[in-house]
Structure 1
Amino acid sequence: MRIALIGCGAVTQAVYVPLLSRRRDLFEVTAVCDLSRTLADAVADRLGAPGRYTALEDMLDAGGFEAVLVLASGSHGETVRRALAVGHAVLCEKPLALTRAEVAALPEGRLMVGYMKQYDPAVRRAEELLAELGGAGVIRAVEVTVLHPSGESQLAFANLTQARDVDAGVLDSLRAAERELTTRAVGESEPVRSLYGISLGSICHDLSLLRRFTGSPAEISHVETWGPAPGSVEISGPLPAQGRFSIRWHYLEDYPAYRETVAIHHDTGTLELVFPAPYLMNAPTTLTVVSGAESRTEYRDVTEAFEVQLAAFHAFVRDGKPPLTDVGGALEDIVTAQRIAARYAVQHGLPIGGEAA
């Protein structure tokens, strides 16, 4: 499958370039696009891609590919809209967009939204075991803890090419556009905006897992934040079938390593997932199964979740196999993030605007 990459930053260089290099049986990268010509050339050189662009419209006009991977930072709504409009299949990194309006404006087309943790072998095994136990109706609680060090420390090993050739005015314009989208989503309150950014930028991974295990929460009961920005976040509420969930997310600048734990407590035991740093290829997630008589079983698989996700995209485009997250699932996560923002605003007497109001 001939594909194009949009965005040549950290996740592209650290994750997608090595994976696409070793999955040439599935993909041929024919074009890359980034605002930085330095980054576009660096990624294109590593993948042997002839097309190098700094403007999306130029790449779409030139064509020569059937699918697009949208890997840039920020909201992806407009980029995805333009790629779908000219007939390309799209794999879009989370979040799909910052507003519900962007999602509503998308044309019909083949769209898969990337939440790689849904494709983790340990997560899929946990889903199977949960189904055998009786599904969401047996869950008493889902407890999530995320310890999030700085992005720089997580990526120090990757020797990333840096972009220093993008016009400052262009960057200012993009930042202004992002601010406007966030205003349309949740209004002007800076604490609410910060929380919304964390929810869609990081906690959305945990929302996507809740979506798979239990369904998206229809209600948010409590939200609290504390500590130096971006600080710590606590979110809780009822699950759709029964039981409750809690998410505790902590940004710890100098914490030794990223760590994420998702514990599903059910009537007869616990399924506990411990995720490693997401940028370490083939580092296994550990699933610990606690059952009767204090029996403990550990499951590990070094199959890389990002690689499984890429193979799933290939199967989606070529064979029509539905993705785990389509436009509907991505929209659910945006709605949940807006509910989180609205609950926080109400609890703390802050203004809430935009779609979240």
Structure 2
Amino acid sequence: MRTSTLGVGILGAGPVTQAIHLPTLARLRDVFHVAKIMDVDPAIAESVAGRVGTAWTTSMDDLLADKAVQVIVICSPHQFHAEQVIAACRAGKQAVLCEKPFAMSQAEAEEIAAVSRETRVPIIVGAMHTFDPGWLAAKEHWGDLVRTAHTIRYSIVLPPNPRFEDFATEVITRPERARQDRHDPEVAAGMVRAGIMGLAIHDLPLVRAFCPDFTDLEVLSCHVPDPFGYLVNLRIGDRSVQVSGISTESWQPEWTFEALSDVASLRIDFTPSYVQAGSATAAITRGGEATVYGPYPHNGYEGEWRYLADLASGKAAPLDVTELIHDLTFALDVADKASAAVRASAASEAAASQATAPQKEAIA
């Protein structure tokens, strides 16, 4: 019966809710049911709720006051996350899942941590790959690779999100995005920051697992590929780190994480976010021999929801909120320094172009 499962309240009914969380929850009907959906646009709220036969509202307060809602998932725009996480904790819900980033500053993150500790409401952040069985298997078997790795590579090559969303479901409205001039220094800096805080942030906790000196971080170079993405070379402590994300019109998605030492290596191949296609596959190589773990039946999204159920029922220990703060501050540091580097690079290129313009005119 419905009352035997946990009621989920969803704040924000955009493409992530429609194409990721609702399909995932449909596979977990023995654990969850969608109790209410909130969106500021009543047409979207009503239409998305109609797909799953549940109630809808345009008011966060109404959703949080609903006794049928025990678990909250926050899929609203980034700037509302901190306020909504705190409100969900204050409302006495059993657990909260917030899409990344769960705050926009360290101060907001520390406020969330304090409220979570005070109310004893556990929080998890939707960095889905940290819950992927392929990643968890790699952690169990990589031995001393965290200590000995000298190079970390994290690469995403994906078609634009709408292509995946349209394969996953029939999306009800999505924001329009105009093409931007990536040669403008401020535009380029904004694109890099948005890419890191919106896409790279998924696996920056994985990078941080291999970088104990994550506060000693330097951006060596940063580039914005066409039409969108980021190519960032970092030095973190004594580790060389490359973080890249590229949007391409071709159909050959790739989402990989690698860690290399002189004697061993790890490579994890993740399935694309919007494709409900099972777990990642992890390969650990030592002495020329590779051991492969996975694929396993479920992906990281299902993993995070199953963990959330265990949190809500008291079967699992909460995550250390301090670690979530460290994940956020690491991502913000990468975003700040990378955007500053690309801003300076773009400004230098613009100045050089202006300087050569009179020469070209004279030759013409």
Instruction: Indicate the TM-score class for this superposition, using the shorter chain for normalisation.
Output: 0.7 to 0.9
Task: Tell me the CA shift for residue 345 of structure 1.
Answer: 5.7
- Structure 2 counterpart of 1:217: 214
- Structure 1 counterpart of 2:354: none
Q: Note if contact 2:271-2:277 (Cα within 8 Å) is conserved in structure 1.
A: no
The more displaced of 328-337 and 146-155 is 328-337
C-alpha distance 161-5 of structure 1, shift in aligned 2 (>3 A): same
C-alpha distance 319-332 of structure 1, shift in aligned 2 (>3 A): same
Matching residue's letter, 1:116: M
- Describe the superposition over 1:257-297 as per-residue Cα deviations: whole angstroms up to 9, x where unpaired: 331111111242211111121111134422222221x2233
The yes-or-no answer on 1:304 pairing with 2:299 is: yes
- Structure 2 counterpart of 1:184: none
Matching residue's letter, 1:127: K
Q: Where do residues 265-344 of structure 1 align in structure 2 (5 Å cutoff)?
A: 265-292=260-287, 294-300=288-294, 301-319=296-314, 321-323=316-318, 327-344=321-338
- Structure 2 counterpart of 1:163: 173
- Structure 2 counterpart of 1:66: 70
Task: Tell me the CA shift for residue 157 of structure 1.
Answer: 1.1
Task: Tell me the CA shift for residue 336 of structure 1.
Answer: 2.1
Matching residue's letter, 1:141: T
TM-score for the superposition, normalised by structure 2: 0.80
Q: Note if contact 1:143-1:246 (Cα within 8 Å) is conserved in structure 2.
A: yes
- Structure 2 counterpart of 1:196: 193
Work out the CA distance in 2 between the residues paired with 1:346 and 1:121: 36
- Structure 1 counterpart of 2:124: 112
Work out the CA distance in 2 between the residues paired with 1:228 and 1:339: 24
Q: Note if contact 2:146-2:210 (Cα within 8 Å) is conserved in structure 1.
A: yes
C-alpha distance 11-349 of structure 1, shift in aligned 2 (>3 A): closer
The more displaced of 60-69 and 265-274 is 60-69
- Structure 2 counterpart of 1:57: 61
Q: Note if contact 2:283-2:292 (Cα within 8 Å) is conserved in structure 1.
A: yes
5+ residue gaps in structure 1? 165-170, 172-187, 351-357
TM-score for the superposition, normalised by structure 1: 0.81
Matching residue's letter, 1:257: Q
Matching residue's letter, 2:246: H
C-alpha distance 163-55 of structure 1, shift in aligned 2 (>3 A): farther
**RMSD of aligned residue pairs (Cα, Å):** 2.8
- Structure 2 counterpart of 1:151: 161
| Aligned-residue identity in percent | 23
C-alpha distance 154-341 of structure 1, shift in aligned 2 (>3 A): same
Work out the CA distance in 1 between the residues paired with 2:300 and 2:339: 35
- Structure 1 counterpart of 2:107: 101
Instruction: Give 3-state SS (helix, strand or coil) of 2:282's partner.
Output: strand
Work out the CA distance in 1 between the residues paired with 2:195 and 2:69: 34
- Structure 2 counterpart of 1:177: none
- Structure 1 counterpart of 2:245: 249
- Describe the superposition over 1:229-262 as per-residue Cα deviations: whole angstroms up to 9, x where unpaired: 53432131125xx53322122222x031331111
Task: Tell me the CA shift for residue 202 of structure 1.
Answer: 0.5
Matching residue's letter, 2:195: I
Matching residue's letter, 1:53: T
Instruction: Give 3-state SS (helix, strand or coil) of 1:143's partner.
Output: strand
Task: Tell me the CA shift for residue 323 of structure 1.
Answer: 4.8
The yes-or-no answer on 1:23 pairing with 2:28 is: yes
- Structure 1 counterpart of 2:141: 129
How many residue pairs match? The answer is 323
- Describe the superposition over 1:90-130 as per-residue Cα deviations: whole angstroms up to 9, x where unpaired: 11111112222322333233211121101111111111112
The more displaced of 337-346 and 119-128 is 337-346
Q: Note if contact 1:216-1:332 (Cα within 8 Å) is conserved in structure 2.
A: no
5+ residue gaps in structure 2? 1-5, 176-184, 345-364
Instruction: Give 3-state SS (helix, strand or coil) of 2:153's partner.
Output: strand
Work out the CA distance in 2 between the residues paired with 1:320 and 1:223: 45
- Describe the superposition over 1:202-250 as per-residue Cα deviations: whole angstroms up to 9, x where unpaired: 11122111233444722134241233353432131125xx533221222
